[in-house]
Amino acid sequence: MQDIQPPLPAAGASLTDGFGRQITYLRLSVTDRCDLRCTYCMSEHMTFLPRRDVLTLEELYRLSAVFMRHGVRKIRITGGEPLVRKNIMSLFEMLSHHLRSGELDEVVVTTNGSQLSRYAKSLHEAGVRRVNVSLDSLDPVRFRAVTRCGDLAKVLDGIDSALAAGLKVKLNAVAMKGAFEEELDGLIRFAHGRGMDLTLIEEMPLGTVCHDRKESYLRLDALRQDLEKRYTLSPLADQTGGPARYVRVGETGGKLGFITPLSCDFCASCNRIRVACTGELYTCMGKEGAVDLREALRRDSSDEPVSSLIFGAIARKPRGHSFAIGAQDVQGIGRHMSVLGG
């Protein structure tokens, strides 16, 4: 029996899933490699992909262009660590034309900061105006323990370079029980003292790691209640296109964000999709299923087969994720966070 192919999407048709959510935000991973080994993100001894399995920068750009034609207005470049990808600036330069034309609202980057001192100025010249930097500790010893090999001074230099280049920097920190709770006030003062927002993220059960997530998981609703004992937190309506919900900290004047995939589900308003560096399209970070776009991309010079696969995947986008961390068990998935950059 001949396979029945889904109808080709109309030119310029928007990406709308079965729940009426319009997809306008693409998180694009450019590499699975990273120069750090954060304990909540990766196993200590990772096996990375062979080069043949990873899309070229030109293929990543071509995919981006397909998504833009169907309504994506924001692209976040992620990894692994995106700035370790060889010749990565050529992708930003290709995307910059769409920023200047108005086809894209913004291109942003999530990075561990280790390469920012090298790339901050070039990123700004390519039209990037915001970067998110993962920073879980200001203690050099704990920073090295969390990242297994990181140099805090190098990351702080990168943050300085980004600010000097005119980039708006937001710090991201994964909330975990223990030393993090003791350091949180210092992170807030550091970020807000330099005009940076800080976003706290609940640990998610992605991949096998070296610690027991049942012991390390810290609910952000509980943490927020604790913060309210010593800070004045005023809710804000600010949105950056992602899942964070923000408050203004009265004592510092800065913004504090909360990303709560487990304690306070935000899936109902999801406008995001993720593409791995292999060309696999994930419509939900918390699900295993993916659609392979690489074969169609490499087999056909026309973008129509790729568009058809994308629309089919979006139509099947689930209502929400299925992972959870409880006192007795963890419902997670095998894919490490580094595959999609969170």
Which residues are annotated as part of the binding site?
27, 34, 38, 40-41, 76, 80, 110, 134, 170, 204, 267, 270, 272-274, 284
CA distances from 277 to 55, 77, 232, 289 (A): 6, 10, 42, 16
DSSP 265-298: --GGG--EEEE-TTSEEES-TT----EE-HHHHH
Which residues contribute to the annotated binding site for GTP? 27, 76, 110, 170, 272-274
Helices (H), the chain: 57-69, 89-101, 116-125, 140-147, 152-164, 179-193, 213-216, 220-227, 294-299, 304-315
186 cis-preceded (ω within 30 degrees of 0)? no
Q: CA nearest 85: which of 109, 59, 57, 118?
A: 57
What's the number of CA atoms in the CB half-sphere (13 Å) around residue 43?
Answer: 9
Residue 24: phi, psi to the nearest 5? -125, 5
272-275 vs 280-282, strand pairing mode? antiparallel
Token digits for 214?
Answer: 């049942």
Q: How far is Cα 200 from Cα 139, in angstroms, rounded to an integer? A: 17
Annotated binding residues for [4Fe-4S] cluster: 34, 38, 41, 267, 270, 284
- Crossing angle, helix 89-101 and helix 57-69, to 10 degrees? 20
Cα(255)–Cα(191) distance, integer angstroms: 9
Q: Which two tokens stand for residue 130?
A: 């915001």
